[in-house]
Amino acid sequence: MNQMASKSFVSEGSLYNASQPIGMVLEIAGSGSQIAIDLERLAQCAEDTDPSIALAGQVGSQIKIKTKDGWLLASVRNQRQDRRGDGNAVLANIDFMGEGQEERLTGKIHGFRRGVTRYPIPGALVYPATTDDLRQIYASDGRSAIQVGTVYPTTEIRAGIYIDAFLGKHFALLGSTGTGKSTSAALLLHRICQAAPQGHIVMIDPHGEYSAAFRNTGTIFDVSNLQMPYWLMNFEEHCEVLLRSTGNDLQEDKDILAKCLLAARYKNRLAQTMGKITVDSPIPYLISDLTNMLQDEMGKLDKATTSAPYMRIKTKIDELKADPRYQFMFSGMLVGDTMATFISRIFRMPGDGKPISIIDVSGVPSDITSTVVAVLSRMVFDFAIWGRNEKTRPILLVCEEAHRYVPNEKNADGSSVGRILSRIAKEGRKYGISLGLITQRPSDLAEGVLSQCGTIISMRLNNDRDQAFVKAAMPEGARGFLDSIPALRNRECIICGEGVSIPIRVAFDNLEEAKRPASEDPSFVDLWSECGGEEEQVERVVQRWRSQGS
């Protein structure tokens, strides 16, 4: 009986707090305005059982303002004490998020939409936004969406991301190391795979973290089974792998390589049936044909011309063939025309219920890692371009540690991977390619690339430069949310852009153990308190170290 009485009292308290104003509008501007909030009312609301009302008026919370036609929703960006009055008011800047109509009988919000058509006037009353209001505001508008967590500060309103808008205009997932970024990326990709089991997703995984997360729902490729034929490289990628010279020597080496590579490609029967090919055409050729061409060209030299450039290229090719670490790419077994098979495997066409391929490049020698990523990214782009007349099969390319591959001008090394990923960011969506960038250092990303991402998911960023960089890339209305980026807890994020109706703060769902990436930080205390078997472990590691790649 008492419990029922207390419940009705609680609901009456909530009804009272929701129906009574907490302040008024002082000043109106285009994107944001200033309000004054009554401190006494703030204290009353803070005791409310509805978490949305309890936070009303605080930084990052939502409030609503009465207008002639309905309600305006805004988020609170900052607070400061009003020193001019009697000390009972707080001044706050707000950012408008959108508007909705008012139900005549209940006074609730319905028909919420982004943007503002009619601004309130100074003196308009400000009310707390309730959980019911937020449920209306964050309700799906009917487009297909994936559920990724709960909307802060509520515990039951589900946060959805509109999948077509999210993938159609690229996305970025940002967050400092240790904020749960890898687990959140795995959660997003698992939800996308559930929504589209016949999808085509390629993920570049530089640390081998995601193999554990997608063992059952994806196909894992690493140096043991990638089998990426060397002849798929275009001329620029060949130069990155085979040429080490600089200045005038580099141009001379390029000219020699172009001539010999084209001649080697022409030797294939496939080239002879096609008529005209270029040095970039993905036509299989024998490495021995390329070295023979270099040898022949060297034999034609007169005494005055040096053979050094020919020897440089030939020596490098011999090194690659002999080094077991490069066998996944330069094996003599990869000379057959396996291009269609390779594309089908990597792009999951057909997917056989495993729509994601994880490309673990952690075992690839560091000097050619960026070239391998460049080849895979360019294959995605070229496949989409040459498939324009076919039924479009969109491909999602996800790039972890994206700042390594598309660095800003200060860190740029002129590699082909930066150029191809920048091109996909600018032009990919015309051809049905979606790009997902994951990074802990957004300020090290190329400037134009982040601005091409239609949806930005920002977890906690500890670095001031990163915070400023992300704020510059985000839409104006999200500023109130952005100020809370340094205060986000682990696995919390701000989502804004095309994938959501309005900016939201989200607590990501928990992911089952079997679906998590292997990115947990080791516990030093636990691991250093164990002992035994160290000598055997060292022996095994040394054995693997010495036999790498073979």
- The CATH code that applies to domain 14-138 is 2.40.30
Question: How would you write the pLDDT of the chain (550 residues) with one tens digit per residue?
Answer: 333 333 333 455 567 788 888 888 988 876 668 898 888 888 888 888 888 888 888 887 888 888 887 888 888 888 888 777 666 788 888 888 888 888 777 767 777 877 788 888 888 899 888 888 888 788 777 778 899 999 888 888 888 899 999 999 999 999 988 888 999 999 999 999 988 888 899 999 999 999 989 988 889 999 999 999 999 999 999 999 999 888 888 898 999 999 999 999 999 888 888 878 899 999 999 999 999 999 988 888 766 678 888 899 999 999 999 988 899 998 877 788 889 999 999 999 887 888 999 999 998 999 999 999 999 999 999 999 998 888 778 999 999 999 999 988 777 777 899 999 999 999 998 899 999 999 999 999 987 888 889 999 999 998 888 888 888 877 665 666 777 788 888 888 999 888 888 888 899 999 888 888 876 666 778 778 888 888 888 998 898 887 765 5
Where does 144-222 show beta strands of DSSP type E?
Answer: 145-151, 158-162, 171-174, 201-205, 218-221
Residue 389: predicted pLDDT: 82
Q: Looking at the DSSP assignment, which residues form a beta bridge with residue 161?
A: 146
Every domain range in the chain assigned CATH 2.40.30:
14-138
Structure confidence at residue 8 (pLDDT): 34
Q: Are 502 and 162 in contact (CB under 8 A)?
A: no
Name, in order, each residue with C-beta under 8 angstroms of 189's C-beta and a sequence gap of 6 or more. Answer: 201, 203, 214, 356, 398
Q: Residue 6 has what pLDDT?
A: 34
Single pTM value for the model = 0.86
* Sign for the pseudo-dihedral over CA of 442, 457, 221, 209: positive
Fold of 160-229+336-512: Rossmann fold (3.40.50)
- Sign of the dihedral through C-alpha 43, 44, 47, 50: negative
Q: At what angle do helices 247-266 and 287-299 cross, to 10 degrees?
A: 120
Give start-end residues of each CATH 3.40.50.300 domain in the chain: 160-229+336-512
Residue position matching structure tokens 């340094």: 486
Examine residue 153 and say whether the peptide bond preceding it is cis (omega within 30 degrees of 0).
yes
